[in-house]
Amino acid sequence: MRILLLGGIGEALQLARRLACRHELTYSLAGRVRPRADLPYVVRVGGFGGVEGLRDFLRRNNIELLLDVTHPYAAQISRHAVLAAKQAHIPVWAYRRPPWQPEAEDNWQPFRDWSELRIALAAFSRPLFTIGLEPLRHSHEIPPDQHWLVRCLETQPEPSPRLTVLNATGPFGLEEELHLLRHWQVDVLISKNSGGKAVAAKLQAARVQGIPVLMWQRPELPAADEEFDAVEVIAGRLGC
Ligand code: NAP
């Protein structure tokens, strides 16, 4: 079967490796991370140009099944996938990674967007942001009594005495996360509810340290034709 797999997370790579033996697979990346060179299938990199661009790609390449295995916060491409597959009259299946759930000792406070987060942040002085580059777009808003620690993929913002950027990519272990929270005297953690194991230790570290977590709520996604919470099940359904 000719399959287009929208990837960008670890599970997408796992699935691609399994499907490649039996199917004609194209693996698609947005372009943030460099593709590995040793992959046994076609890799394409970069956006399609919206819903129409994706629909045209599906038609031009006679794709029979679209698999959305993107990050739970990559909402735009997931929305485009559902619309484009419909227009191209092919099915779309989606992997929806299960969210993390709080434990009894956790103090998680939800927020929906930056304006809600800003209000919640006022009670703290040394936040650690683990939500990508968004805080750097607001670094001019840092109040005089706060220091922001931002962990994100490689970027070099303007130096500021109230901002420290740590360029790092997971996975991170518990000891590492505890050291980070203690060393920087972090008093609140800001996180996406990404789910998975790779970056979950920060939540455990916050629990150990008794630090609250401001948790960005997941974006709403349109329903795919079929949805899965494990890529092994998708592989099984496709005979791999
Ligand atoms: P997004 O906001 O949903 O997508 C923005 C645009 O990037 C899309 O409209 C599309 O461009 C292009 N795009 C996204 N994923 C693509 C893919 N797999 N193949 C080809 N084009 C793609 O996504 P995002 O939040 O910027 O994330 C970009 C990628 O990074 C995603 O593939 C996601 O799986 C991965 N990722 C995201 C996060 C996160 O926290 N958001 C974390 C880890 C990994 P066109 O409209 O031009 O087609």
Q: Quote the ligand 1 centre to 61 CA distance (angstroms).
A: 21
Q: What is the pLDDT of residues 101-133, one digit of tens each?
A: 999 999 999 999 999 999 999 999 999 999 999
Q: What is the pLDDT of residues 40-99, one digit of tens each?
A: 899 999 999 999 999 999 999 999 999 999 999 999 999 999 999 999 999 999 999 999
Residues within 6 Å of ligand 1 by CB: 6-9, 28-30, 32, 47-50, 53-54, 70-71, 73-77, 80, 132, 192
Reduced to 3 states (helix: H, G, I; strand: E, B; else coil), residue 192 is strand
**CA proximity to 197, closest of 180, 168, 172, 227:** 172
Output the pTM of the full model.
0.94
**CA proximity to 66, closest of 89, 49, 45:** 89
Q: Quote the ligand 1 centre to 11 CA distance (angstroms).
A: 15
Q: Which CATH superfamily is domain 2-98+219-237 in?
A: NAD(P)-binding Rossmann-like Domain (3.40.50.720)
Q: Which CATH superfamily is domain 108-216 in?
A: NAD(P)-binding Rossmann-like Domain (3.40.50.720)
Domain boundaries, the chain: 2-98+219-237, 108-216
Q: How far apart are CA 12 and CA 85, in angstroms?
A: 19
